[in-house]
Structure formats: C-alpha cells, structure tokens
Amino acid sequence: MARRRADNGPLAFSCDCKAVRGHLQAGAAARGVHAVCYCRDCRAAELWLGRPDPAPGPVDVFQTTPDMIRFQSGTDRLGLLRLSPKGLMRWYATCCNAPLFNTLASPRLPFAALHVARLDSPESVGPVRVHSFVPRPGGRSAHRGWGRMILRLVTGMGGARLSGRWRRTPFFDPDSGAPVAEATIPDKAARAALYSRAPGS
C-alpha cells in the first residue's frame, strides 16, 4: 500500500526559547505511536507549567523509547514534575516551562513520550493513532487504538530491554538509576487547585 507514512529522518525538537535542543534519531517516526490524552493528569501538568489550558482538548504526544533521544543542548535545564510521589515523570524546560517528555519512573521501563508541539515539524510523526481517556457522556472515558499502541510499546520497550539499549537514556544516571533532576511534587492544596480548575478559567 503506497499510503504516505511518517517522515523517517531525524526529528528535531526544542523548547520554546531554544535553550533545550535535540532530536529523535532517524527511524523513530516509524517505530513510535502518535497519541493524544484527555486525562486529568496531563491537563493538570499543563496548568502547573502555566501553559494554555488544553481542556476540553487533549495533550498531544509521540511515544518512543529513550534511546532514540539525543539532546544537543540544555540538559542542565531539565526540570522534573511529578503530580504525586509515584506519578509519571513529566520533564520540562526550566528556562521557558515548555513540557518536553513524559517517562516512566524507572530507566528499566524504556518509555518516553515527546510533546508533539516541541517538534520542528509536528506533521512528521503522522496522524494520531491512539486516543486515551476520551470523555464520554456520563463522566466515563474511553480509549481508541490501544491494541496498536500496546503492541508497538511492548515491541519497542522489549527490544530496548533485550539489547541493553534501555541503559541509554538522558533522564537517569546510568550507574545509580536516579533521575537527573530532582522531582517537584506539588502539595495537596496545589494539586487540588490544579484538578478543580474549570476549563477556560
């Protein structure tokens, strides 16, 4: 089938002020998954960073593995937000508060989701394949495309694990496994304020 797929060259990314720069290595587009997430945590993270409220829309990310990520500059500007002590690790640029990547809490789980807006050419990761936590009437939510996402994630993460590529991550110290930045965890009151904010306020 001659359907045009994602661009398979290296994919450059940067924070808003360009102090943090890097790229995903060639081949990343074909192996990752373009996904959007409507969950409360992704929204709360945007609000904590002082970004425009994504609600009622989603947050747009490209899921890949950390060994595909190369930083050219600005690793000293990496900040780390966790909305709870065991929450997802949300990496952002301390220079301009641009959200960059989400990772799991251990380098042994090689997963990284890049905020698509950080890419020089966001269209290069192709169309959205996965829709997470889509609001439904009655306050429930639904997922679409998870079969594909899980297959790709397990294949990508499994490959990174078996080959030892999981050790190649910019987010964790290779020896201790500790994250390269200290996590900021909002206190209960700050969290409550983020989660209770009405859309558009």
- Out of 49, 88, 95, 117, point to the residue binding Zn ion (CB under 5 A): 95
Least distance (Å) from Zn ion to the CB of residue 176?
27
Class of residue 103 by CB neighbours under 10 A (exposed 0-12, middle 13-18, buried 19+): buried
Is there binding between residue 17 and Zn ion (CB under 5 A)?
yes
Is there binding between residue 19 and Zn ion (CB under 5 A)?
yes
Cα–Cα distance for residue pair 59/26, rounded to 1 Å? 24
Q: 10 Å Cβ neighbour count for 35? A: 24
- Out of 35, 93, 100, 157, point to the residue binding Zn ion (CB under 5 A): 93
Least distance (Å) from Zn ion to the CB of residue 18?
7
Is there binding between residue 39 and Zn ion (CB under 5 A)?
yes
Is there binding between residue 104 and Zn ion (CB under 5 A)?
no
CB distance 194 to 44 below 8 Å: yes
Is there binding between residue 47 and Zn ion (CB under 5 A)?
no
Is the Cβ of residue 29 or residue 59 nearer to Zn ion in the bound state?
A: 59
Given the rule CB under 5 A, which residues bind Zn ion?
15, 17, 19, 37, 39, 42, 93, 95-96
